[in-house]
Structure 1
Amino acid sequence: MVSDKLPPCADDVFKNGVSACLVGDVPKHAAETICQSLSAVTGWKIDWHYFGGRTHIKALAPAPQPQPEPIAWMVGTAFWWTKEEAERDAAATGLPIVGLGPMAGAAEVERLNRALALAGHWCASALNAAQRADDAAESLGDIASLLRHQAKDIEAALSANHVPEVKS
């Protein structure tokens, strides 16, 4: 049995995060899974809380730091601390290398902001899927499948230096 006890929304995200989406009530564990998955994909701190009976998801960008080079590299879902390891993995798997860390200029910040908007749009889709399901286990399975597809889309968009604009 899954515990109903979940940690509260992270204080810094609650106070300083930007609103990513506000949707109807969804199961706590579904909201938690969505936030953790989007945090892993985007590098932003993403958390949720209830607001007026609705699920409010907020995101907080990593603090900017003067770092011209990535601090780590990602190939698929694997993280590498050295570029050489990432290059070997990329050659073996055929997947692109994605630099991680605050290495952004103004154009990079804009691109990541668009990625966050896209993640917010996907988040709303996943939460809507959770609300439509009659069975909690089926709901989490559908959400996990949706998030896997969305994670691939955002990885492809970020590695191609292009993030499509989301029209609300």
Structure 2
Amino acid sequence: CVTYGGGALDEDTDKELPCSAETEPVPMAKSDQTNACPALATSDGKEVPVCCDAKQLNTFVDSLKQINNLGVSKESACFLNFQNFICQSVCSPQQSDFITVNASKSTEKGKAHVVESVYAISKTFAKDVCNSCKDTSTIVLGLKLMKFMCGKYGASNCSPERFLEFIGSTSDEGGQSP
């Protein structure tokens, strides 16, 4: 794991920033994993060690409600792919294979929290996530989800790179990341 647990609140968004960590994944209750990160659940019912704690998982589940509130079904390919995309970044036991912490900052209590990281994903995975959502309409006047998920580029000019750029952008940059 390169992150584990919450470290501090982002001053601009009040979202919790993950702690910078160099630790082994920790087992988590199967019920918590299955609901939030079905891609990490095993078919034999065994616990899978993960790089997130229960509080991070609950925050992750709450953040997915924003997409549901726009009318995106939990069973849709768009939702499931987006859920997996975020789940992997927060909880994957192989987190260190594709996430690099570029900068961290210590709190008064001495806990280091991540302020900058890089999430490396394959072009195929990025394209699959983006394409599964590109034609998804919302309940907001029937607007395409990508109008909300691709920032200044909107739905018509969205690409996998622009989609991911928006997802990783801070609030100062018009995005949703802390």
TM-score scaled by length of structure 1 = 0.30
- Identify which of structures 1 and 2 has the higher relative contact order when contacts are C-alpha pairs closer than 8 Å and 6+ apart: 1
TM-score scaled by length of structure 2 = 0.29
